[in-house]
A and B are shown apart, each in its own frame.
Chain A
Amino acid sequence: MLKIKSLCVSYGAVEALANVSVHVSEGEFVSLIGSNGAGKTTLLNSIMGIVPSAQGEAIFMDKSISSMKIHQAAAKGIALVPEGRRVFSNMTVLENVLMGGFSKSSKENSEKLEEIYSMFPVLKERKNQLAGMLSGGEQQMLAIGRALMCRPRLLLMDEPSMGLAPLVIKDVYEKLAALSKTGLTILLVEQNAAMALKYADRGYVLENGRIVLQGSAKELLGDNEVKRAYLGKEYKEKWER
């Protein structure tokens, strides 16, 4: 469904992504893990058309999306839940959700709204509150709800666990897993490798703008290098020995 071929992205002299190739098939839940500054956000932003790519190609549903503007990528059926949620803080929860369905008819939106309310009851309870007043977890739910309003075929998630308490993180991932079960294709990027790989089918490891490892989520969770660098197991094991 999504094919990224040898993508290179630079910010001036800083090369953020070098020859990154990633693919996501229809219905898959793919996680890409990497530490801070590895280039995860850059990858998603480049797919979405927020940052331009220097080289390489992004193909979505057999069409090149490399030179698309943000709203055009959205119209193609790609939704991004950005890093730090970026809800419209001066607008109400309901207005935020409706904004996600900007290009859809109001009839389509009212149907979808009910679905989103039943998936995230908290959004219904808080619908008239300003989004800026919500807790981090609620804002994350709102950002996901907003993204779902445009009925995406591919959902891009940027660090959904950032700044959230463990129980809330689990909650968010359970929702994502449920969405994945309904057939939604998900590409998620995370520092929190344990959670990201636990729920995913497949995974990639990104280091300094390069893909260094890929495989099924199980393989990656069992990989010694991943354990050492991302799951923090090394010292514990030594101590256990």
Chain B
Amino acid sequence: MQFLYSGLTGGSIYALVALGYNIIYNTTGLINFAQGEFVMLGGMLIYTLFAVFGMPFIIAFPLAVVTALIVGLLFERVFINLVRVKSDINLITVTIAASILLRDFAMHIWGRDTVTVGEFMPVKSIELPGGVISNQSIMVIAVGACIAFILHLFLKRSKYGRAMRACFDDMTAAGICGINAVMVRVMSFGVAAAVGAAAGVLISPITFVTYDDGLMIGLKGFAAAILGGLGSFWGAVAGGILLGLLESFAATIMPSGYKDAIAFVVILLILFVKPAGLFGKRMAKRV
């Protein structure tokens, strides 16, 4: 049972990262390989605001997320917008290049060493049937679920969220409705960055933060998105949680050094066996 509790914690984070991939994929058809860097950025920002500046968490958290959102908007304006020939392959290569740049920037700002964010609240362990769970983990799961739910409402209910879904269905028809496709693209990068950074904030007291964290968490989130079916909202949530559970279950039967390999085994298996993912409705067709 213990693996269930730790799996849910990691899984919530993977789910948020996977949602970030989906937001951009669903509006532009792109895989933003810099998605993981925003998780790192979230961790680093909360370190600066909460641990260094000593801001109350309740202020530092939204501030970190908003800062990351702005970086996400700038990221689109600089890296995506300026690419002259916007073919998928060009843009995806640019996101990889941009992720390396972001990592280097982070290294210069925050250094090579792992930074410790500290606890957002006094840590307590809670006895549950078959194991213990810390209140930290509960916060990760609960806030993660809240963010997913808010995102769901945004996409379903708000005008801009609907516009993002419309662009996914038919970019031209969305333009005919008066929707500025570029505006939607910029917005999707901002929202994805914010969601990624929120994940980074949540996990930072548990895993600490290093400038190169983005690579691994980004690839794991990508594995979760593929597992759930790229582009599917609830698929990302399920894929993230499933990956988290698989990892922590594997840790109980295998040496823990293999834990990181699980995500890649998952990517390979899905691509070999069920390319549309477990919950994917259809394959991509976007330009």
Contacts and interface: CB of A to CB of B under 8 A. Distances in A.
Contacts of B177: 74, 99-100, 102, 146, 149-150
Interface stretch (A78-86, A195-203, A232-240): A78-86
Contact of B169 (A50, A90, A102, A146): A90
Given A95-B162, A98-B162, A102-B159, A88 B176 contact: no
Contacts of B134: none
A75 interface: yes
Contacts of B181: 70-71
Nearest to B179: A102
Nearest to A90: B169
Interface string B163-205: 1011011101111111111000000000000000000000000
Contacts of A86: 170, 172-173, 176
A91 interface: yes
A30 B227 CA distance: 52
A30 B175 CA distance: 24
Contact of A79 (B172, B174, B176, B180): B176
B166 A74 contact: no
B175 A69 contact: yes
A75 B173 contact: no
Q: How large is the interface on A (under 10, 10 to 19, 20 to 34, 35 or more residues)?
A: 20 to 34
Contact of B176 (A48, A95, A98): A48
* Best-buried of B173, B174, B176, B180 by chain A (most CB within 10 Å): B176
A211 interface: no
A82 B176 contact: yes
Interface string A79-117: 110100011111100010011101100000000000000
Contacts of B166: 88, 91, 99
* Best-buried of A49, A69, A102, A103 by chain B (most CB within 10 Å): A102
Contacts of A50: 172, 175
Interface string A130-157: 0000000000000000110110000000
A98 B166 CA distance: 11
Contacts of A87: 173
A99 B168 contact: no
A79 B159 CA distance: 19
A8 B43 CA distance: 55
Contacts of B174: 88, 99
A74 B178 contact: yes
A146 B176 CA distance: 10
Contacts of B165: 88, 90-91, 95
A72 to B, nearest CB: 8
B162 to A, nearest CB: 6
A173 to B, nearest CB: 21
A90 B165 CA distance: 8
B169 A89 contact: yes
B163 A102 contact: yes
Nearest to A132: B169
Contacts of A48: 176
A102 B152 CA distance: 19
Interface of A: 48-50, 69-71, 74-75, 79-80, 82, 86-91, 95, 98-100, 102-103, 146-147, 149-150
Interface of B: 159, 162-163, 165-166, 168-170, 172-181
Given A74-B177, A99-B177, A146-B177, 8 more contacts: A69-B175, A71-B179, A80-B176, A88-B169, A91-B166, A95-B162, A99-B179, A102-B159
Chain A to chain B: the 3 pairs with minimum beta-carbon distance, closest first: A70-B175, A74-B178, A88-B169
